[in-house]
């Protein structure tokens, strides 16, 4: 996990990633004294109990007890692994990662340069759309399509001027080497010559972003009526853009998808924008209609179900059918929402509204119901040949699910639609061989950790003081015997806190969070440091708590001795020895707090 990245680099990334900025980009934060509060993004609530501490760089929710540092927030909020959270924050902070399998420094530099070029040209095209005469044709088109100014700003739409050398001249003016701009996919070298021309000319430009929101490519829609020109031109494959691994809009919709555990897959960028602006935000669009295995794997990280909502024409319906294999292989449940002809999602929403589209999604049918309907519509079910074709195609599709229940269910539905005996369709299903699946070893289920009881008030307050007051760590290390602590989690955290590093300092809360293995431990730390109010005379309070914990430990020892003395079978010598131990404990309890042995 984090072993691929050195602790020093993780600390560098943590220091460069202000938790208020990171969380505030996803959750509306309001200042409350020295801290910030918000409605918790991890559970539903009416009053804000989500607390962000800028001084300690931690967050904690007093409602659901989730807490941690900036890495924990990305892991929990975006549903990614720790190392992916590290990568995302490193990329945001422009910190190169030297991992065991990482790219060479020159490759990382190239990618950063290409990202910078894309970001700057995206701003250039945004400015053209907003301010330049060359952007009027795009402004007229967006007005005609009823795309709002808010949508234009949110999705950073732009316009590439209708010229062969606009981007070429822009790159020269910015000092970018033209071969680099060519690598970014923005210009094309004329064959056999040392001259370049623009790839995107006279087009409405849609920036394509990675999951962190950085521009990695573009899709340009033609604005003129030239039938010889492709309707859409996309960036070619580049060191930072792989078409089959990028999903348009995911940078904005990943949180709504996580919340809904459902991803709606539309066909085009304008469809997605219309859905998103109408409040249906758990929506994405692949680049073109081809949904790949990589797309399916990416979506599986965020959702359990996919609703395909492609156009109702033949191309859209065929794309729906082609998506089956990869979606099934990823383990996603699949439904299909059919937008009534002649509409696509964009025009449907414009005419009927977002609520009507939401209802259409809710009524989406299972993929196999959709497929049966399509097969019956595209085959002559009145003929023997047509009925056999439907039965065999259904068998081939359903058997890919590997479910005997689905196979029998759709054998019955197919028989009913075709007007034939169920046993005949079942026999036809059995004649079709199910595709072989590679056996995947199933990991053994781990037992759920037993819930840990709350620590006592004394132990929690000692933990709180030691985490908030850095100057008291060395003092407490000299006066605390770990055996005085009963709560295992508190004992573990305090032992880490009071163990000096090789440099001689004591680890702070953010460093402890990285060393704690489970959410309950991290939650206890973030809860302890969430209240920023100053504590009067903290050293005296620590000493009082240490003495109280020592005395409670003595009381427990005394109680154990009393139980042993009550044993009638106890010999005289043993009884005298136990009574002497009791006497020593009473004397110890009367003494003031003193350094422990070995401190």
pLDDT in tens, 507-551: 888 888 878 878 888 888 998 888 767 788 989 999 999 999 999
Amino acid 598: pLDDT: 57
Average pLDDT over residues 175-202: 93
Q: Look at residue 451 and tell me if it is in a domain.
A: no
Is the domain of 342 the same as that of 357? yes
Domain stops at, among 193, 218, 241 = 241
Q: What does the pLDDT look like over 333-363, one tens digit per residue?
A: 899 998 888 888 999 999 999 999 999 999 9
Q: Which two tokens stand for residue 464?
A: 């709180």
CATH code at position 42: 3.90.580.10
Is the domain of 111 the same as that of 231? yes
Q: What does the pLDDT look like over 388-418, one tens digit per residue?
A: 999 999 998 888 888 889 999 999 999 999 9
Amino acid 289: pLDDT: 54
Of 507 and 129, more confident: 129
Is the domain of 331 the same as that of 376? no
Q: Look at residue 438 and tell me if it is in a domain.
A: no
Q: Which two tokens stand for residue 17?
A: 């990633």
Is the domain of 154 the same as that of 264? no
> pLDDT at residue 132 above 70?
yes
Q: Look at residue 446 and tell me if it is in a domain.
A: no
Three-state SS letters, 500-548: CCCCCCCCCHHHHHHHCCCHHHHHHHHHHHCCCCCCCCHHHHHHHHHHH
Is the CB of residue 146 less than 8 Å from the CB of residue 212? no
| Phi and psi at residue 206, to the nearest 5° | -110, 110
- Banded model confidence at residue 319, pLDDT cuts 50, 70, 90: confident
The count of domains in the chain is 5
Is the CB of residue 371 less than 8 Å from the CB of residue 328? no
Is the domain of 261 the same as that of 381? no
b vs e for 270-296, b when ≥16 Cβ sit within 10 Å of the residue's Cβ?
Answer: bbbbbbbbbebbbbbbbbebebbebbb
Domain stops at, among 339, 363, 387 = 363
Is the CB of residue 425 less than 8 Å from the CB of residue 390? no
Q: Which two tokens stand for residue 488?
A: 């295992």
Is the CB of residue 263 less than 8 Å from the CB of residue 79? no
- Banded model confidence at residue 442, pLDDT cuts 50, 70, 90: very low
Residues 6+ apart with CB under 8 A from 70: 14, 17, 18, 19, 22, 23, 57, 89
Q: Of 357, 355, 288, nearest to 323 (Cα)?
A: 288
Alpha-carbon gap, residue 1 to 310, rounded angstroms: 38
Q: What does the pLDDT look like over 137-150, one tens digit per residue?
A: 999 999 999 999 99
Is the domain of 473 the same as that of 578? yes
Domain stops at, among 431, 446, 469 = 431
Q: Look at residue 139 and tell me if it is in a domain.
A: yes
Is the CB of residue 322 less than 8 Å from the CB of residue 290? yes
Average model confidence (pLDDT) for the chain? 87
Is the domain of 334 the same as that of 405? no
Q: Quick one: what percent of the chain has pLDDT higher than 70?
A: 92
> pLDDT at residue 87 above 80?
yes
> pLDDT at residue 98 above 70?
no
Q: Look at residue 279 and tell me if it is in a domain.
A: yes
Is the domain of 537 the same as that of 583? yes
Average pLDDT over residues 553-572: 88
Is the domain of 403 the same as that of 504? no
Is the domain of 233 the same as that of 250? no
Is the domain of 162 the same as that of 283? no
Of 469 and 359, more confident: 359
Is the domain of 35 the same as that of 133? no
8-state DSSP, 42: T
Domain that holds residue 167: 105-241
> pLDDT at residue 281 above 90?
yes
Q: What does the pLDDT look like over 218-271, one tens digit per residue?
A: 999 998 766 567 788 999 999 999 888 889 999 999 888 888 889 999 988 999
Residues 6+ apart with CB under 8 A from 313: 341
């Amino acid at each position: 996990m984090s072993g691929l990245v050195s602790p020093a680099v993780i600390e560098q990334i943590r220091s460069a990633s202000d938790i208020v900025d990171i969380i505030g980009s996803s959750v509306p934060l309001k200042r409350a004294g020295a801290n910030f509060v918000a409605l918790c993004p991890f559970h539903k609530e009416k009053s804000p109990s989500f607390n962000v501490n800028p001084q300690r760089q931690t967050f904690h929710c007093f409602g659901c007890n989730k807490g941690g540092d900036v890495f924990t927030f990305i892991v929990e909020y975006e549903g990614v692994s720790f190392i992916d959270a590290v990568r995302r924050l490193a990329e945001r902070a422009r910190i190169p990662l030297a991992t065991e399998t990482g790219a060479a420094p020159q490759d990382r530099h190239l990618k950063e340069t290409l990202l910078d070029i894309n970001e700057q040209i995206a701003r250039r095209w945004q400015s053209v759309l907003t301010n330049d005469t060359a952007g009027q044709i795009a402004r007229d088109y967006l007005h005609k399509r009823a795309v709002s100014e808010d949508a234009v700003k949110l999705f950073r739409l732009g316009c590439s001027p209708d010229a062969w050398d606009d981007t070429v001249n822009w790159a020269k003016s910015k000092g970018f080497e033209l071969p680099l701009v060519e690598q970014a996919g923005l210009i094309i070298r004329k064959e056999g010559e040392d001259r370049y021309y623009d790839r995107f000319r006279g087009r409405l430009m849609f920036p394509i972003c990675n999951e962190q929101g950085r521009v990695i490519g573009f899709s340009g829609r033609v604005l003129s009526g030239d039938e010889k020109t492709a309707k859409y031109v996309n960036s070619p494959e580049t060191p930072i853009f792989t078409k089959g691994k990028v999903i348009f809009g995911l940078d904005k919709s990943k949180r709504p998808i996580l919340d809904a555990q459902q991803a709606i897959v539309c066909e085009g960028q304008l469809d997605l924008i219309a859905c998103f602006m109408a409040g249906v935000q758990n929506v994405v669009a692949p680049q073109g209609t081809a949904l790949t295995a990589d797309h399916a794997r990416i979506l599986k990280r965020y959702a359990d179900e996919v609703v395909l909502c492609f156009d109702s024409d033949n191309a859209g319906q065929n794309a729906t059918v082609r998506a089956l294999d990869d979606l099934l292989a990823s383990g996603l449940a699949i439904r299909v929402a059919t937008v009534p002809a002649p509409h696509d999602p964009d025009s449907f929403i414009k005419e009927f509204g977002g609520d009507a589209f939401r209802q259409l999604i809710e009524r989406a049918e299972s993929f196999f119901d959709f497929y049966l309907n399509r097969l019956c519509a595209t085959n002559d079910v009145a003929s023997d040949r047509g009925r056999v074709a439907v039965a065999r195609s259904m068998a081939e599709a359903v058997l890919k699910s590997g479910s005997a229940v689905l196979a029998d269910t759709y054998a019955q539905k197919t028989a009913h639609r075709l007007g034939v005996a169920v046993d005949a369709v079942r026999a036809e299903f059995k004649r079709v061989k199910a595709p072989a699946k590679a056996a995947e070893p199933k990991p053994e289920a781990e037992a759920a950790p037993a819930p840990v009881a709350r620590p006592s008030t004394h132990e929690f307050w000692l933990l709180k003081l030691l985490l908030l007051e850095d100057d008291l760590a060395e003092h407490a290390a000299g006066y605390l015997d770990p055996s005085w602590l009963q709560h295992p989690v508190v004992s573990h955290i305090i032992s880490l806190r009071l163990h000096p590093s090789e440099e001689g300092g004591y680890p702070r809360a953010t460093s402890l969070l990285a060393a704690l293995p489970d959410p309950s431990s991290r939650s206890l730390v973030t809860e302890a440091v969430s209240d920023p109010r100053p504590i009067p005379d903290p050293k005296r309070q620590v000493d009082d708590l240490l003495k109280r914990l020592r005395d409670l430990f003595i009381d427990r020892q005394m109680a154990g001795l009393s139980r042993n003395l009550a044993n009638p079978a106890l010999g005289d010598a043993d009884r005298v020895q136990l009574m002497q131990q009791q006497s020593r404990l009473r004397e110890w309890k009367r003494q003031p707090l003193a350094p422990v042995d070995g401190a």
